[in-house]
Amino acid sequence: MSDTPINDGKNTVLSLKGKSSTVRQSFSHGRSKSVVVETKRKRLIVPQSIEKITQKVEKNLPLSINLDTKEVTNEKNSLSEVEVSRRIKALETAKAQETSRIEQEKVSTAARDEELKILRQKKDEEDNKKVIQKQVEPIINKSVDQNLAGPLPSEIPLVDAPVTKPRVNKQEDIVKKHVEEDNRQTKVIKNPEDRRRSGKLTITQALGDGNNRHRSIASMKRRQEKEKRRLQGNQSEREKVIRDVQIPDLITVQELANRMAERSAAVVKTLMTNGIMATQNQPIDADTAILIAEEFGHRVVRVSASDVEDELIKFDEFNDDILKPRPPVITIMGHVDHGKTSLLDAIRKTTIVATEAGGITQHIGAYQVNTENGTQLTFLDTPGHAAFTSMRARGANVTDIVILVVAADDGVKPQTIEAINHAKAAKVPLIIAINKSDAPGADPNRVRTELLQHEIVVEAMSGDVLDVEVSALKNTGIDVLLDNIALQSELLELSANADRPAEGAVIEAKLDVGRGPVATVLVQKGTLKKGDIFVVGEQWGKVRALIDDIGNRIGVAGPSVPVEVLGLNGTPEAGDILNVVSDEAKAREIANYRHQLAKDKKSTLGAGSSLDQLIAKAKEDKNTSKLPIIIKTDVQGSAEAIVQAMEKLGNEEVQVQVLHSAVGAITESDVTLAEASHSPIIGFNVRANAQARDVANQKGIEIRYYSIIYDLVNDVKVAASGLLAPEIKETFIGYAKIKEVFKITGVGKIAGCIVTEGTARRAAGVRLLRDNIVIHEGKLKTLKRFKDEVKDVQSGQECGMAFEAYDDIKENDVIEIFTSEEIKRSLA
């Protein structure tokens, strides 16, 4: 083949240097073309030594230095000496770096071999120890130890997870692991453009997931350190972490293990060692938990479930810098119909008494009054009926001053004495208001004298108790009464801290159809604001609205201010204390604790709340008749008063049993309970809804409505009296003696008798006496005089007698003849 280019129109010459050959290149649609390809020989360049290069430099020969191949060649154009020196220095530096790298690789390989040798020796020792330990250790301990194998105590998570025993790698695996890590690191260092050459970046690669994910250097170091600690565990154990473990009254094994940062299996094993068989989900008492925690070497911090109420810590009320004057709280008390509400109407210039059922107060009312001189007063109006003892006591406990109203024409009565006792128990000052002083027959001095019997000495009789003669109808003496209240409040120096979370007492509570549970609260300390989270008794809530005594919505309520609070999750008990807390979780926790406490208390006393428990308890006491009732009232205080009144009714034979009492309208569930327990439903100032009325009519359940408490008490007393067994009164009317016994076929035995005393009557009851011992009691089947049936036989006459379903009669037996009368009984 010639060295000249060839181009015949059909062949394409790529190169004419070196050996060439022809190939046929195919294209689409059946086309093809011949192509001449030349094979070029590779040029081999032998590097020259530094000595030869130096000799050429000394002879000033032109050189060409290739830094990549370390080749030095002659050039047509000579270089300067500076350029030649620079290139030689670069060659020397490259050679020195290459030599240093080779030496470092040798040292690193030797160190790695030495480390692998040490690890191999330690592994062999560890394997020998494990073989000996497996031969000595019992089978049960070996299985437990295998379950407990895992990370050290300081690395245990607070929540137990499945623990697997790490696999012991063989020596080949360890060497392979190190080689792979070195190769990977070397690859990353030598090939920084691998990622760019690998193609497009996928989502898996960007998120770091998948099998191509690499561990960080810090992670590999931690893994290596962990492997060393495992292999050297018997030689250098880590120091155990001692923790403060909080132990409540009851705790599960799992929770105890979490608090100690120990494995639950280890805790179960320790319990079994101490003779307690328990799983990780079973609860244990505080004493057992303390014992286990001490065995693990932890410090015990004993806590109680009641610690949830630590949030309700009292603030410092004795700092004069934060205490501010507050209005006095005055409670009006006295006997029923002595004019308490009328007196309050005269002070407030209202007509509350006209709106009350029966003209008597049956709820606690809370009101604020601004006097003409600008003084603000808070009044509580309490019922005077005997059933409202708890209401009066509650009013006396939250008050600063008690106004005892006594009618001048009626004098001191039982509830007057009770109010005096409540005031003395609460240690609050008394002001005597002698009402109806203008009524016919009024004698204020008689009232003052009667009060002396109860250690109440008024100022008019040289005492220290203020007394005022007033007339609520004619509005006389009111100004003097208000002046005395202001004087008494100044002597008391009433003050409170208004800059703390609010605390108050529930005066009354009810369930409103449109507003839900509503509590009338008298704020005693702090300031209650809209949005505050509070807990009251077993209920909690967030203040949705505050309504004052005249129905206006207000934003805040300070000390001694009565308000209606909306936003409760349930109806609280009257008398409960309201406390504002920091957050909703704390309020819910405290309410749940109190609810559980009350539930446990009821269970302990045997007061079951379910219908099955009530029926079972009723069956146990068969000697006592029970009248079950269901009570629904408008407010909590009324329900409390009615339940207490029902408990006082009855005796050893009959008792009134309140199956259920609640606030609100009568619902379908109440009717269902009444049907199951065969009890009537009593509604006090409430009515049944439409569904409840329909179901009650279908089931025949009696629903009674009341608005006056003494009407309710009297009707229940009559109903309970109907359960009393009537009293049987016997009257002896005669005696007869059996002289001879005749046996008649088809009739039986007939006693031939003589009436020895009184009269023998056929309709009367008889007893058969033998040797003065009653052997039979019943009725006569026949009474004959000769052959005729007669109604009675007089004394001294003979007759024939036969007993119903009894014929064991003998001569000389005595027949006692009597009449009985049933007398109805009633509860006292």
Both structure tokens of 510:
């009810």
Using the predicted structure, report yes or no on whether residue 255 has a pLDDT greater than 80. Answer: yes
Residue 121: the pLDDT is 82
Residue 736: the pLDDT is 92
Closest CA relative to residue 217, chosen from 239, 241, 189: 189
Tens digits of per-residue pLDDT, 681-703?
A: 999 888 888 888 888 888 888 88
Tens digits of per-residue pLDDT, 52-63?
A: 555 554 455 444
What average pLDDT does the chain have? Answer: 76
What is the rounded distance in angstroms from the CA atom of residue 237 to the CA atom of residue 247? 29
Residue 157: the pLDDT is 43
What is the rounded distance in angstroms from the CA atom of residue 61 to the CA atom of residue 78? 7
Select the highest-mean-pLDDT range: 535-549, 596-610, 617-631, 660-674: 535-549
What is the rounded distance in angstroms from the CA atom of residue 333 to the CA atom of residue 681? 32
* Arithmetic mean of pLDDT, 530-544: 91
417, 456 in Cβ contact below 8 A? no
Residue 52: the pLDDT is 57
- The CATH topology of domain 608-721 is Rossmann fold (3.40.50)
65, 72 in Cβ contact below 8 A? yes
Q: Identify the weakest region by mean pLDDT among 199-203, 407-411, 482-486, 690-694.
A: 199-203
Residue 320: the pLDDT is 53
Three-state secondary-structure class, residue 721: helix
- The angle at the Cα of 175, spanning 173 to 180, to the nearest 5 degrees, equals 90
- Give helix 171-190 / helix 81-136 axis angle, nearest 10°: 150
Using the predicted structure, report yes or no on whether residue 377 has a pLDDT greater than 50. Answer: yes
* Arithmetic mean of pLDDT, 384-394: 53
What is the rounded distance in angstroms from the CA atom of residue 605 to the CA atom of residue 617? 12
* CATH class belonging to 727-823: mainly beta
Tens digits of per-residue pLDDT, 465-512?
A: 888 888 888 888 888 888 888 888 888 888 888 888 888 888 888 887
* Arithmetic mean of pLDDT, 13-32: 69
- The CATH topology of domain 503-600 is Elongation Factor Tu (Ef-tu); domain 3 (2.40.30)
Q: What are phi and psi of 484, to 5 degrees?
A: -65, -35
- The angle at the Cα of 62, spanning 57 to 67, to the nearest 5 degrees, equals 80
What is the rounded distance in angstroms from the CA atom of residue 535 to the CA atom of residue 170? 65
Task: Please name the amino acid found at residue 459.
Answer: E
Residue 541: the pLDDT is 92
Using the predicted structure, report yes or no on whether residue 446 has a pLDDT greater than 70. Answer: yes
Residue 153: the pLDDT is 42
Closest CA relative to residue 646, chosen from 679, 600, 597, 612: 679
Judge residue 257's burial from the number of C-beta atoms within 10 Å of its C-beta, 0-12 exposed, 13-18 middle, 19 or more buried: buried
Residue 351: the pLDDT is 54
Residue 213 or 800, more confident: 800
Residue boundaries of the structural domains of the chain? 137-165+237-303, 329-493, 503-600, 608-721, 727-823
pLDDT > 70 fraction of the chain, expressed in percent and rounded: 71
Both structure tokens of 386:
């005997």
Instruction: Count CB-CB contacts under 10 A for residue 806.
Output: 17
Q: Would 329-493 and 727-823 be classified into the same CATH topology?
A: no
- The angle at the Cα of 812, spanning 811 to 817, to the nearest 5 degrees, equals 110
384, 337 in Cβ contact below 8 A? yes
Select the highest-mean-pLDDT range: 139-143, 542-546, 605-609: 542-546
3-class secondary structure for 610-650? CHHHHHHHHHHCCCCEEEEEEEEECEHHHHHHHHHHHHHCE
User: Length of the chain in residues, anyone?
Assistant: 828
Which spans in 407-540 are helix H? 414-426, 444-452, 478-492
Three-state secondary-structure class, residue 541: strand
Residue 396: the pLDDT is 62
Q: What are phi and psi of 356, to 5 degrees?
A: -90, 140
Residue 108 or 41, more confident: 108
Three-state secondary-structure class, residue 725: coil
Using the predicted structure, report yes or no on whether residue 318 has a pLDDT greater than 60. Answer: no
Using the predicted structure, report yes or no on whether residue 603 has a pLDDT greater than 80. Answer: no
What is the rounded distance in angstroms from the CA atom of residue 241 to the CA atom of residue 261? 9
Both structure tokens of 674:
């009444």
Q: What are phi and psi of 97, to 5 degrees?
A: -65, -40
What is the rounded distance in angstroms from the CA atom of residue 484 to the CA atom of residue 506? 28
Closest CA relative to residue 5, chosen from 32, 43, 36, 39: 36
With DSSP H G I counted as helix, E B as strand and the rest as coil, what are the percentages for the chain, rounded to 5? Answer: 35, 30, 35
Closest CA relative to residue 292, chosen from 313, 272, 271, 273: 271
Using the predicted structure, report yes or no on whether residue 191 has a pLDDT greater than 90. Answer: no
**Chain centroid to CA 480: how far?**
52
284, 256 in Cβ contact below 8 A? yes
Q: Does domain 329-493 have CATH number 3.40.50.720?
A: no
Residue 622: the pLDDT is 54
Strand partners, 630: 660, 681
pLDDT band at 322 (very low <50, low <70, confident <90, very high): confident
Q: Identify the weakest region by mean pLDDT among 157-161, 198-202, 576-580.
A: 157-161
**Which DSSP helix (H) or strand (E) runs through 110?**
helix 81-136
Residue 314: the pLDDT is 56
What is the rounded distance in angstroms from the CA atom of residue 721 to the CA atom of residue 719? 5
For β-strands 299-302 and 244-247, DSSP reports them as parallel
**Which residues are CB-contacts of 519 (< 8 A; sequence separation ≥ 6)?**
506, 508, 509, 536, 564, 565, 568, 571, 572, 578
720, 698 in Cβ contact below 8 A? no
**Chain centroid to CA 730: how far?**
62
Tens digits of per-residue pLDDT, 698-755?
A: 888 888 888 877 788 888 888 877 766 667 788 888 999 999 988 887 778 888 999 9
Residue 365 or 155, more confident: 365
Q: What are phi and psi of 455, to 5 degrees?
A: 65, 35
Using the predicted structure, report yes or no on whether residue 651 has a pLDDT greater than 80. Answer: no
Residue 533: the pLDDT is 92
Task: Please name the amino acid found at residue 90.
Answer: A
Three-state secondary-structure class, residue 506: strand
**Chain centroid to CA 20: how far?**
96
Residue 113: the pLDDT is 81
Strand partners, 369: 377
Residue 542: the pLDDT is 93
Closest CA relative to residue 353, chosen from 381, 334, 333: 381
What is the rounded distance in angstroms from the CA atom of residue 391 to the CA atom of residue 385? 10
Strands in 195-344 per DSSP E: 244-247, 250-252, 283-285, 299-302, 323-325, 329-334
What is the rounded distance in angstroms from the CA atom of residue 804 to the CA atom of residue 765? 11
Residue 161: the pLDDT is 41
pLDDT > 90 fraction of the chain, expressed in percent and rounded: 6
275, 560 in Cβ contact below 8 A? no
Distances in Å between the Cα of 12 and the Cα atoms of 27, 32, 39, 764 are: 15, 12, 15, 153
* Arithmetic mean of pLDDT, 253-272: 90
Select the highest-mean-pLDDT range: 300-304, 383-387, 453-457: 453-457
pLDDT band at 311 (very low <50, low <70, confident <90, very high): low
**Chain centroid to CA 817: how far?**
70
Tens digits of per-residue pLDDT, 125-169?
A: 887 777 666 665 554 454 444 444 444 444 444 444 444 444 444
Tens digits of per-residue pLDDT, 78-119?
A: 557 777 788 888 888 888 888 888 888 888 788 888 888 888
DSSP assignment of 28-73, as one string? Answer: GGG-EEEEEEEEPPPPP-PPPPHHHHHHHHHTT---EEETTTTEEE
Using the predicted structure, report yes or no on whether residue 352 has a pLDDT greater than 70. Answer: no
DSSP assignment of 329-365, as one string? Answer: EEEEEESTTSSHHHHHHHHHT---GGGSGGG---S-E
Residue 178: the pLDDT is 53
Using the predicted structure, report yes or no on whether residue 534 has a pLDDT greater than 90. Answer: yes
Residue 645: the pLDDT is 82
Instruction: Count CB-CB contacts under 10 A for residue 193.
Output: 7
Both structure tokens of 547:
């309504």
Residue 753: the pLDDT is 92
Provide long-range contacts, Cβ within 8 A and 24+ apart, for 741-744.
Answer: 741/809, 741/810, 741/811, 742/800
What is the rounded distance in angstroms from the CA atom of residue 527 to the CA atom of residue 541? 16
Residue 655: the pLDDT is 79
